Amino acid sequence: MSIASIKALKLAPLDDLDIEIERGKSVGGAASAAINAGGIVAFDAGIGGEEQEDVLYSMQFAQRAASAAADRYTQVKAWYQEYVRVLGETGWVMGGFNLNAQKVDQSEVEVAKAALEILAAAATGPQSVVLLAAIKALKGMAKDDGFITLFEHYGAKGLVGNFQISDVQKGPNGALSIVTGAFQIEMAERQDKFLFFTWHKKGVSVWGDAIRATFNRTYYADLRQTVRDMLGKEGRKAIASLPLKF
């Protein structure tokens, strides 16, 4: 996609969210994870600060472009079609998500655990300890913690959730390899910390899919400043580095 085409895209604005949150700053090269609007993103050790920013900004850019084109909660299929298209135009090499590919059908389900299982099926190796630490950190937080509020504000509305979970690793050749999952849930009633609530079969429906992707930073380099400018300072409002313990 050309710079002119990127500039022609409309982005959904970020509404003001008044929360108290200790927004950590990730250190380039160290293992880290962040809430990124309606997504959770984990970075393995060895990924530089600009590389992390490129992934986070391109993903948020795609989320907000998709939200400008389709309603995130009532037009989920159209939303993901635009989300994947914009990611592809900013340097992601990936296939499309099929949200109906995997439906969780269990008598009891924890959404986070089900999502991790779907992600694991798409991975070729063991699941990232960084991603598991990120999920553990969120699970241990209070329902009114700023990180939980931030994620649920952008990843759910009413009885519908639409969120992403991604694990980013760096290969021997320096390329960024990503396992990313797309998930939709429908709740019978809204629960705080819906990712970690133990739902009974009739209380929630979970659909999702996960795919492998690579991120072409050489391609993205020409678009980097334009994406930064379009996201503006408010782009940082939806990003918060998670405190991790290994």
Residues 68-113 pLDDT 10s:
999 999 999 999 999 999 999 999 999 888 877 788 888 899 999 9
User: Which tens digits make up the pLDDT trace of 228-239?
Assistant: 999 998 888 899
Whole-model pTM over 0.75: yes
pLDDT for res 239: 94
Report if residue 2 sits inside a domain. Answer: no
Report if residue 246 sits inside a domain. Answer: no
Alpha helix locations (H) across the chain?
3-8, 49-69, 76-89, 111-122, 129-139, 146-155, 217-221, 224-231
Taking the CB of residue 155, how many other CB atoms lie within 10 A of it?
A: 24
The total number of structural domains that make up the chain = 1
Report if residue 17 sits inside a domain. Answer: no
pLDDT mean across residues, the chain: 92
Report if residue 6 sits inside a domain. Answer: no
User: Which tens digits make up the pLDDT trace of 118-128?
Assistant: 999 998 777 89
pLDDT for res 17: 76
Report if residue 51 sits inside a domain. Answer: yes
Q: Kindly state the tokens that stand for 53.
A: 């920013």
Report if residue 169 sits inside a domain. Answer: yes
Strands (E), 152-203: 156-157, 160-170, 176-187, 198-200
Range of the domain at 223: 33-241
Report if residue 113 sits inside a domain. Answer: yes
Count Cα neighbours of 213 within 13 Å in the Cβ-side half-sphere. 28
User: Which tens digits make up the pLDDT trace of 51-62?
Assistant: 999 999 999 999
Whole-number Å distance between alpha carbons of 60 and 198: 29
Report if residue 12 sits inside a domain. Answer: no
First to last CA, the chain: 40
Whole-number Å distance between alpha carbons of 81 and 70: 9
CATH number at 115 reads 3.40.198
